[in-house]
Each structure stands twice: as structure tokens, then as C-alpha cells.
Amino acid sequence: MSISKLGLQSTFRPTFDLELCDGCGQCASECTFNEIKMVPHGDSQIPVANRRSCGACHRCEIMCPRGAIKIIEDPFVTRPHGIWTPHHINRTHLQASTGSVALTGFGAETNVPVWWDRMLFNACQVTNPSIDPQREPMETITYLGRKPVSFREVDDPSALVNRLIPVNIPVLFAPMSYGSINLNLQKAMARVAKKLGLLWYTGEGGLHKDLYPFTDWAILQVASGRFGVSPDYLKMGRAYQIKIGQGAKPGIGGHLPGEKVLEGISETRMIPLHSDAISPAPQHDIYSIEDLRLLIYAIKEASGYKPVCVKIAAVHNVAAIASGIVSAGADMVYLDGFRGGTGAAPNIVRDNVGIPIEIALAVVDQRLREEGIRSQASIVAAGGIRNSADIMKAIALGADAVAVGTAVLIACGCHGCQRCSSGKCPWGLTTNDPELSGRLDVDWAEDRITNLIKAWHHEIQEIMGLNGIYDIGSFRGNRLLLRGVDLDEKELSLLGIKYAGE
């Protein structure tokens, strides 16, 4: 250690069982952060940890052919203090060393309550029978888009049905751009969306030509950088999404450094090789709701009136903003809560800006209903959805569908080391380094994501069945199916649910 290393202490490290280790060196080649080095030892060599850069990604541990590695916690101990924890001391040292904004990836890690965990489902007992999903139909088909208030307004039902977007399970793959993740992962998601009848979002990085066969299941994004947006792009998608904000970093833009703008990305984003790809914080043609309306209708005109979705970060005034977005003509509102993931964001923004999706979703759904415009737009909830229970709680609060990003990464190997912005993702997910992205086999990733969605689908059907509900439509917005625990009156009223026992 030297004084220049202040703030760089790792709190994990790999340990090696030298009795099992045969010195093959696989671990050293797997580690992309140079935590492990092979050193000569007698006739052979053994791995040694430098104890400075382990992020607990578990790549070495899982890939070790001998099972000789275990990642352990290696706390950097400071004198116990309620405010100045090792985390804050380390952070201060780090910034004093570098003078820069501390970047991170993944989703917020603060101890703000997770309201999902404070809501519990009802179940049938005696007076209404539960339904066994193994024996009875249990349907999760959902149609997304703008719906009329009354069937009387429908002159041509076929035109209505064709305008809407059906999904077999209301779980979508959240926008993650080509650039923030690599093409292999996008391909895997696109294949699963096509196979299972779901939707995937492109994110703001444009649409690589290899993905053209999957556009019927794709929502293509138009973000502040306008990457990859062309007349053809505006004809190809099933729907379009205008990205205003992101839950992990509301109010700020993005920056893909030039060294990451490699050939495929340069072509897809339609920018010169190795030029910085900068997404400005606001869309510079949207400074007001009227401007948003113009862009919504510009995209509708250009695309032949395909549905347009607007993605916003959940912020304080989210209900009024969402109401404005629906009035401005959006067919879907995508709400991204503050726990949503990111490829790169200032740590301080990720952990301190925005509001949680549970509350945002509840107030938006209620507000749109009160204004009589709920049917005009579907609500997609995202940002910290971890499992099928979270999904169904979101549906019960009023979401038409949820979107998951982090869970997809985890399904493909991610262990949450939060170093997505480094470009060194050891699992080959959030990197476009040709060698590292080769670590992600598309077929394998497709299987993993398929399995995850299928497992969730079974669980969703169980949750519906044990509530005696055979169609997810009767679960949607049905807040009587939820009860709160450890919540105060204000939280209950914002969530629109009763307390356990009521």
C-alpha cells in the first residue's frame, strides 16, 4: 500500500484452496480487474490476490475448474461510527485522490425502504375457492396501447386490435442500449421476446442490422442523442419510445466514451468511429410539454401512427407529469423508479435522486383514473423489479406491464459488482470489448432468460390462482388484493392499500 492508494481498498477478495488448485491460471485470465496474478511456486505456479480490486463478481470462483476459489468479505475496518462508515470514508479518500465524480453502475444501494416488501397478497380461504393453474386456464395476455373508453366509439374492431400490442406475459425487457450492453445480450433478449411473445426495448443506441428480424417485438427508442434514428428506423419498430429520463439518473444525460465506440456501435449509432457519444441531459427540442407533443406526433407521422411511449424517471411531481404526457398524446407511459439500473451514473445521483417506483406507480395510476384518462395510455413500471412477487404487486397497484433490466443481466451471470461503466464486465454483459463480449454465448443467454421468464410465469399464475383470479386483467389495479405492513397512514394512502387485518 502507498498513500496514492487511499480510497481504493477492496472489501472482498478471492481465497484459494491450494490443495485443490492445480495452477492452471484460468482465474487470472477470467479476472478483468487484475485482482489475480499467477506467481511461480516450486515447479508450478499459484494464484495470488492483490487485494485491491476484487468487486465480488464471482467470475473466477465459478469458472475455476477445480472449485478451489471462494470470494470472501474482507472488510476495511475503521473505528465504528454511525455517520462516517467505511463506505463514506473510502469515498472521501477516493474523491480527494481523483478530483472527479464517482461513477457507478447497477441500481441504487441506499437503505430507502423497499415498499414491495411491505405489501402482502391476499389468498382465497373457504368463501371463494382458489383455482389450480395446473388444471384451469390462467391467462396473462395483455394488450398495450391507447384504448377507447367505450366500445361504442369503435367503428372497426379489427383496426383497434391491430393498433394495440399484445404480450403473452406483461413483462418487458427494459431499454439497455447497444453500447451500454453488447449485441450478444441484445440478441438474446430479442430472441426471447419473439419466442415468448414479449417486447424488448432497444435503448438509445439504435438498432443493429442483425436485429432487424426482431423488430415486430421491439420498441425502438428515440433519445436525446438521436442515435441511429433514421427514416427507416422510424418505420421498422412495433412502437417507439421517447426517452426523457432514467430512474438511475433523473435529469442527467449519458456519455459513451470514444474508445468504446467501436465499429458496430459506430455504424448502428450513425456516428464516426471512436467519437464520444453524448446524450444531452434534456432533449434539446423538448423544453416543455408542448414540445413533447410535437415530437410524439412527429414520430407518429413518420412511423405511420405506431404507438408512442414516453419514458420518464419517477420524480416528485410524477403524477402531474404523467398526466401531461398522456394528454400530449402518448400511448404508453414508462415510469422508471429510482432503484432502476444504469450502465454508468454518478454515484451521488444514483443513490439520491428520484422516488421509488411503488409510490410513483400508485400515484400515477390513481391520478390518471381520477382524470378519466387511464384507458388512453398503458403504464409500464420499472426500476427495481426483482421477482414475480414484485411484478404482481406492480400489476395490482395498476401497472399494465413491468420492465426488467437488471434481472436479465443477473440471469446472464451478473453478480452485481456495479462496475458496468468500466467496460470490463467479467461476464461479458456491459462491455463491447470483442474478447469479453465473446464470453456471453447468445444461445446460453437466451436459455437463461427464457428460463427466468418461464419460472416467473408459473409463479404469476400461482399468485393469480391462489387469489381465485384466472385473468390478469382482474388483478390489474385491484389494490384490495394487497395489504400493507410496517407502513404509516400516509404511505397507505399514497399506495391506496389497506393495512394488514383491515
The residue ranges that bind another protein (CB under 8 A) are: 124, 126-129, 131, 136-137, 139, 141, 143, 147-152, 154, 157-158, 160-161, 164, 369-370, 372, 374-375, 396, 467-471, 473-481
CB of 396 to another protein, least distance (A): 8
Nearer to another protein (CB atom), residue 50 or residue 327: 327
CB of 246 to another protein, least distance (A): 29
CB of 334 to another protein, least distance (A): 20
Dihedral (CA of 36, 39, 41, 44) sign: positive
CB of 126 to another protein, least distance (A): 8
Dihedral (CA of 207, 107, 279, 354) sign: positive
Nearer to another protein (CB atom), residue 155 or residue 259: 155
Nearer to another protein (CB atom), residue 25 or residue 468: 468
Nearer to another protein (CB atom), residue 170 or residue 384: 170
Nearer to another protein (CB atom), residue 422 or residue 467: 467
CB of 199 to another protein, least distance (A): 16
Distances (CA, A) of 326 to 231, 283, 372, 377: 25, 18, 11, 6
Extract the C-alpha cell encoding 174: 427494459
Residue holding cell 436485429? 211
* Type of residue at 92: T
Please, are residues 124 and 468 in contact by the beta-carbon 8 Å criterion? yes
Spatial CA neighbour of 374 closest among 411, 327, 341: 327
Spatial CA neighbour of 212 closest among 230, 223, 196: 230
DSSP label of 282:
S
CB of 457 to another protein, least distance (A): 14
Element (H, E) at 346: strand 342-346
Q: How far apart are CA 285 and CA 280, in angstroms?
A: 11
CB of 477 to another protein, least distance (A): 4
CB of 156 to another protein, least distance (A): 8
Nearer to another protein (CB atom), residue 350 or residue 479: 479
CB of 364 to another protein, least distance (A): 14
Nearer to another protein (CB atom), residue 234 or residue 377: 377
- Secondary structure (DSSP) of 3-45: GGGTT---SEEEEE-TTT-----HHHHH-TTS-EEEEEETTEE
Spatial CA neighbour of 358 closest among 332, 343, 376, 340: 340
Number of C-beta neighbours around residue 168 at 10 A: 14
Nearer to another protein (CB atom), residue 396 or residue 440: 396
DSSP label of 307:
-
Task: Determine the longest span between alpha carbons in the chain, in angstroms.
Answer: 85
Nearer to another protein (CB atom), residue 22 or residue 370: 370
